[in-house]
Amino acid sequence: MGALAAAMLLIVTLFPGLIESKAAEFSEYQVKAAFLLNFTRYVDWPKSSFAKADSPLVICILGQDRFGEDLRTLIADKSIEGRKLVLHKVDTIEQCRGCQILFVSQSEKFRFADILQKLKGLPVLTVGDTDGFIAAGGMINFKTRAERVRLEINRAAAEKVGLKISSKLLQIADVAGEEPRR
């Protein structure tokens, strides 16, 4: 999956409009996995987010894991700015405190408010793929429209905890409080 993953990352990052034409080649969760990997490149965390200069960047999944092995394979042996990428499946909100990216599965929809409240003030990039996730205070939400994965970003929620989202990522997203891109 090495060359395929690299090609997919390039497609997702530079040409998000091509995702719909490649839908038959990549599953919805393969595309979302590629986005999660790219978030590690296009979001800056405060130094206080890490215990040490070489602490890993931890991606966590809370709830049902629909990525299968795709996300694990995609981040295997990858590093971002000297930080190894690590994937954890977490079961409790307390375990989420050690994550830099937290993907909150659709299975947790009825707990969004509680999850996000308990993480309030922590520099954890919260990502979901369920209607209402941004309104509940989540930072990035995947929306699938016409077989195309799009992003909704709650920039204010991210900035409130010290996360800086790159303008490159904001350009391909619908940003809360701004006109949606077509």
Q: For residue 59, list its beta bridge partners.
A: 87, 101
Neighbouring residues of 32: CB distance < 8 A, sequence distance ≥ 6: 67, 129, 142, 149
**Arch. (CATH architecture) of 2-175:** 3-Layer(aba) Sandwich (3.40)
Read off the pTM: 0.85
As a whole number, mean pLDDT of residues 30-46 equals 95
Across the chain, mean pLDDT equals: 86
For residue 24, give both structure tokens: 């038959």
Buried b (16+ CB within 10 A) or exposed e, 120-157: eebbbbbbbbbeebbebbbbbbbbeeeebbbbbbbbeb
Q: What is the percent of the chain with per-residue pLDDT over 90, rounded to a whole number?
A: 70
CA gyration radius, the chain: 15
Give 50-105 pLDDT, tens digit per residue.
999 999 999 999 999 999 999 999 999 999 999 999 999 999 999 998 999 999 99
* Band of residue 178 on the pLDDT scale cut at 50, 70, 90: low
As a whole number, mean pLDDT of residues 142-146 equals 86
Give 153-170 pLDDT, tens digit per residue.
999 999 999 999 999 999
Amino acid 40: pLDDT: 96
Q: With a cut of 60, say whether residue 11 has pLDDT above it.
A: no
